[in-house]
Amino acid sequence: MLGPLLQLRGAETDLALGISVIGLSILSLVLSILIAVVLVRGYRRGPGRAGMLWLAVGLILLTTLPELLRIGLPSFTAIGTAGRSVLVSGCELSGLAAILWAIYGGGTQ
């Protein structure tokens, strides 16, 4: 847990700001996973609910995975800022595509 916190360096960065950033990241991860679990439970209730599964996949790709990539890539790999931006943006775009697929009927067939 200290690894991402130690990456927050700068002339005006203090401990409270670093803890706030980490806390908000953890909160967004937990909330997105909880919403995805509710969507998957709705999908499992019966046939014809594939749209809920696509919404869950889209949510995970739009919020959870990019947040993990923002923290994990600089912490555990040597991928630079540009590579990280491409991976995060691609993941977010895939999430938006999955959500659009669910909304416009592709996931209900």
d(CA 71, CA 25): 9
pLDDT of residue 2: 54
Residue-by-residue pLDDT tens, the chain, 109 positions: 555 555 555 556 678 888 888 899 899 999 999 999 998 998 888 777 888 899 999 999 999 999 999 888 888 888 888 989 999 999 999 999 999 999 887 645 5
Give the integer Cα–Cα distance in Å for 32 and 102. Answer: 17
47: phi then psi, degrees, rounded to nearest 5: -70, 160
Instruction: State the pTM of this model.
Output: 0.75
Cα gap 53→46, rounded to integer Å:
12
Q: Which residue has the tokens 């993990």?
A: 68
pLDDT at 77: 86
Residues 6+ apart with CB under 8 A from 74: 7, 84
pLDDT at 8: 52
